[in-house]
Structure 1
Amino acid sequence: MTASDPIARAHAMPFGSVIMGDQVALRLWAPLADAVSVELDGGEPVPMDPMDDGWFEARVPGAAGLRYRFVLPDGTRVPDPASRFQPDDVLGPSEVVDPHAYRWSDGAWQGRPWREAVIYELHVGTFTPEGTFRAAIDRLDHLVDLGVTAIELMPVGDFGGDRNWGYDGVLPYAPDSAYGRPDDLKALVDAAHRRGLMVFLDVIYNHFGPEGNFLPLYAPVFTDRHKTPWGAGINYDDEGSRWIREFVIHNTLYWIEEFHLDGLRLDAVHGIVDDSPRHLLDELAERIRAAVPDRPVHLVLENEENEAERLARRDDDPVTYTAQWNDDVHHVLHTAATGENAGYYADYRGKTDLLGRALAEGFAYQGEEMPYRGSARGEPSGHLPPTAFVAFLQNHDQIGNRAFGDRITDKTPAEAVRAAACVCLLSPQVPLLFMGEEWAARQPFPFFVGFEGDLADAVREGRRSEFARFPEFQDPEQRERIPDPVAEATFRSAKLDWSDLDREPHKGWHDWYRRVLAVRHAEVVPRLAGLDGHGAAYEIVADGAVAVRWRLGDGSTLHLHCNLSPAEAAGFPEQPGEVIWREGRADGPDGVLGPWSVRWSVSQAG
Structure 2
Amino acid sequence: MPARTTETWSHGAVMLDKEHTRFALWAPDAKQVTLLLYPLQAGQQDTAPLSVPMLAQEHGWFVVETASRAGSTYRYAIDNDLEVPDPASRAQESDVHSPSRVVDPQAYTWQHPHWQGRPWHEAVIYELHIGTLGGYEAVERHLARLAGLGITAIELMPIAEFPGARNWGYDGVLPYAPEASYGTPEQLKHLIDTAHGHGLMVILDVVYNHFGPDGNYLGAYAKEFFRDDKHTPWGVAIDFRRPEVRSYFIDNALMWINEYRFDGLRFDAVHAIESPDFLGEMAKRIRGSVAEGRHVYLTLENEHNQASLMQQGYDAQWNDDGHNALHVLLTGETEAYYEDYAQDTTGKLARCLSEGFVYQGHVNRHGEQRGEPSGHLPPTAFVLFLQNHDQIGNRAFGERLSQLCSEPALRAATTLLLLSPMIPMVFMGDEWASDEPFLFFTDHHGELAEAVRKGRREEFKAFAAFQDATQRAQIPDPNHSDTFHASRPHFEELDFQQDGPWVQLYRQLLALRRDEIVPRLPGSMAEGCTVLAEGVVSARWRMGDGSLLRIDLNLSSDAVLVDPVAAEHLLFDSRPAAQATPTDGSLGALTAQVSMTPGHGDRT
Class of the TM-score when normalised by the shorter of the 2 chains: over 0.9
Distance change in 2, residues 1:217/1:420 (3 Å): same
Determine which of 285, 288, 295 is the counterpart of 2:286: 288
Say if 1:450 and 1:486, in contact at 8 Å, map to a contact too. Answer: yes
Matched, 1:554 2:583: no
Report what 2:137 is aligned to. 134
- The reply on whether 1:221 has 2:225 as its aligned counterpart is yes
1:176 alignment partner in structure 2: 179
Match of 2:425 among 432, 441, 451: 432
SS of the residue 1:45 aligns to: strand
1:146-187 deviations in Å (ceiling 9; x for gaps): 100000000000001110000000000000101001001000
Match of 2:89 among 80, 83, 100: 83
Does residue 20 in structure 1 map to residue 16 in structure 2?
yes
Q: Secondary structure at the match of 2:508?
A: helix
Matched residue, 2:558: 567
Report if the CA contact (8 A) 1:386-1:429 is conserved: yes
**Which segment drifts farther, 444-453 or 221-230?**
221-230
Aligned residues of 2:306 and 2:371 also touching (Cα < 8 A): yes
- Is it true that 1:370 corresponds to 2:373 in the alignment? no
User: Structure 1 residue 512 and structure 2 residue 508: aligned?
Assistant: no
8 Å CA contact 2:34–2:80 kept in 1: the answer is no
Contact 1:206 1:233 in 2 (8 A): yes
Aligned residues: 576
> Secondary structure, in 3 states, of the residue corresponding to 2:500?
helix
Q: Aligned to 2:515, what secondary structure does the other structure show?
A: helix
Q: How many angstroms apart in 2 are the aligned matches of 1:84 and 1:504?
A: 39
Alpha-carbon deviation of 1:504? 12
Offset of residue 117 of structure 1: 0.1
Q: Which residue of structure 1 aligns with residue 582 of structure 2?
A: 588
Q: What are the ranges of 5 or more consecutive residues in structure 1 without an aligned counterpart? A: 1-11, 313-318
Output the CA distance in 1 between the equivalents of 2:287 and 2:198. 25
Amino acid at match of 1:551: R
The answer to whether the Cα contact below 8 Å between 1:440 and 1:506 also exists between their aligned partners in 2 is no
Letter in 2 for 1:388: A
Distance between the aligned counterparts of 1:75 and 1:605, measured in 2? 73
Amino acid corresponding to residue 75 of structure 1 in structure 2? D
In structure 2, runs of 5+ residues without a counterpart are 1-7, 39-47
Equivalent of 2:319 in 315, 320, 326 = 326
Q: 1:220-252: per-residue Cα shift (whole Å, max 9, x none)? A: 110123221112110012xxx111000000010
Indicate the SS of the match to 2:582. Answer: coil
CA shift, 1:282, in A, is: 0.2
Q: For residues 399 and 93 of structure 2, what CA distance do their matches in structure 1 show? A: 33
Distance 1:392 1:357 in 2: 16
What's 2:393 paired with?
400
- Counterpart amino acid of 2:256? W
Please list every run of at least 4 consecutive aligned residues from structure 1 whose deviation after the TM superposition is greater than 6 angstroms. 503-506
Deviation string 1:274-310 (CA, Å, 9 cap, x unpaired) is 15xxx11000000000110421110000000111111
1:125-274 matches, within 5 Å, as 125-127=131-133, 131-219=134-222, 220-237=224-241, 241-274=242-275
Partner Cα distance (1:142, 1:504) in 2: 10
2:39 aligned with 1:36, yes or no? Answer: no
Whole-Å Cα distance in 2 between the matches of residues 228 and 506 of structure 1? 45
Q: Distance in 2 between matches of 1:553 and 1:417?
A: 29
**Preserved contact between residue 30 and residue 55 of structure 1 (Cα < 8 Å):** yes
Specify the SS of the correspondent of 2:139. helix
CA distance in 1: counterparts of 2:68 and 2:531, whole angstroms: 69
Preserved contact between residue 501 and residue 507 of structure 1 (Cα < 8 Å): no
Q: Give the residue type in structure 2 aligned to 1:135.
A: A
Q: State the TM-score, normalized to the length of structure 2.
A: 0.93
Match of 1:316 in 2: none
Task: Please give the alpha-carbon distance, in whole angstroms, between the structure 2 residues aligned to 1:74 and 1:487.
Answer: 37
Q: How far 1:106 moved relative to its partner?
A: 1.1
Q: C-alpha distance in 2, partners of 1:189/1:449?
A: 26
State the secondary structure of the residue aligned to 1:252.
Answer: helix
SS of residue paired to 1:84: coil
Match of 2:592 in 1: 598
Contact 1:439 1:506 in 2 (8 A): no
Query: 1:199-238: CA deviations, max 9, x gaps?
Result: 000001100001010011111110123221112110012x
In the aligned structure 2, how far is the partner of 1:165 from the partner of 1:213?
Answer: 17
Tell me the equivalent position of 1:5.
Answer: none
Relative to structure 1, the CA distance from residue 418 to residue 217 in structure 2 (aligned partners, 3 Å threshold; closer, same or farther) is: same
Q: CA deviation at 1:480?
A: 1.0
Please give the alpha-carbon distance, in whole angstroms, between the structure 2 residues aligned to 1:428 and 1:44: 59
Contact 2:323–2:387 (CA under 8 A) maintained in structure 1: yes
Matching residue of 1:474: 467
Deviation per residue, 1:16-46 (Å, 9 max, x gap): 1122342222111111111100111141532
1:308 corresponds to = 307
Equivalent AA in structure 2 for residue 471 of structure 1: A
Give the 3-state SS of the residue equivalent to 1:169 in structure 2. coil
Percentage of identical aligned residues? 49
Q: Hey, what's the Cα distance between the residues in 2 that align with 1:498 and 1:507?
A: 13
1-structure distance, mates of 2:409, 2:468:
30
For 1:487 and 1:104, the matched residues in 2 are separated by 39
**Deviations 1:384-440 (CA, angstroms, capped at 9, x unpaired):** 000000000010000000011111102321111111111111110000000011012
In structure 1, C-alpha distance between the alignment counterparts of 2:389 and 2:498, rounded to whole Å: 23
Cα deviation digits, residues 72-107 of structure 1 (max 9, x gap): 015110111111100220101001111111001112
Displacement after TM superposition at 1:602 (Å)? 0.5
How many Å apart are 1:352 and its aligned residue?
A: 1.0
How far apart, CA to CA, are the structure 2 residues paired with 1:424 and 1:329? Answer: 10
- 2:156 maps to a residue whose letter is L
Counterpart of 2:76? 70
Answer whether contact 2:305 2:371 (CA < 8 A) is retained.
Answer: yes
Aligned equivalents of 2:258, 2:485: Cα separation in 1: 33
Query: Aligned pair in 2 of structure 1 residues 526, 13: CA closer, same or farther (>3 Å)?
Result: farther
Q: Aligned pair 1:358/2:339, yes or no?
A: no
Correspondence 1:377-456 to 2 at 5 A: 377-456=370-449
Pick which of 155-164 and 504-513 moved more.
504-513
In terms of mean alpha carbon deviation, does 220-229 or 114-123 score higher?
220-229
Q: Is the 8 A contact 2:73 2:93 kept in 1?
A: no
What is the SS of the residue equivalent to 1:595? coil
| d(CA) in 2 for partners of 1:322, 1:427 | 17
SS at match of 1:539: strand
1:103 partner letter = T
Give the conservation status (yes or no) of the 8 Å contact 2:33–2:80: no
**Which of 472, 476, 482 pairs up with 1:489?**
482
- Looking at structure 1, the residues matched to 571 and 347 of structure 2 have their Cα atoms a distance apart, in angstroms, of 25
Amino acid at match of 2:158: P
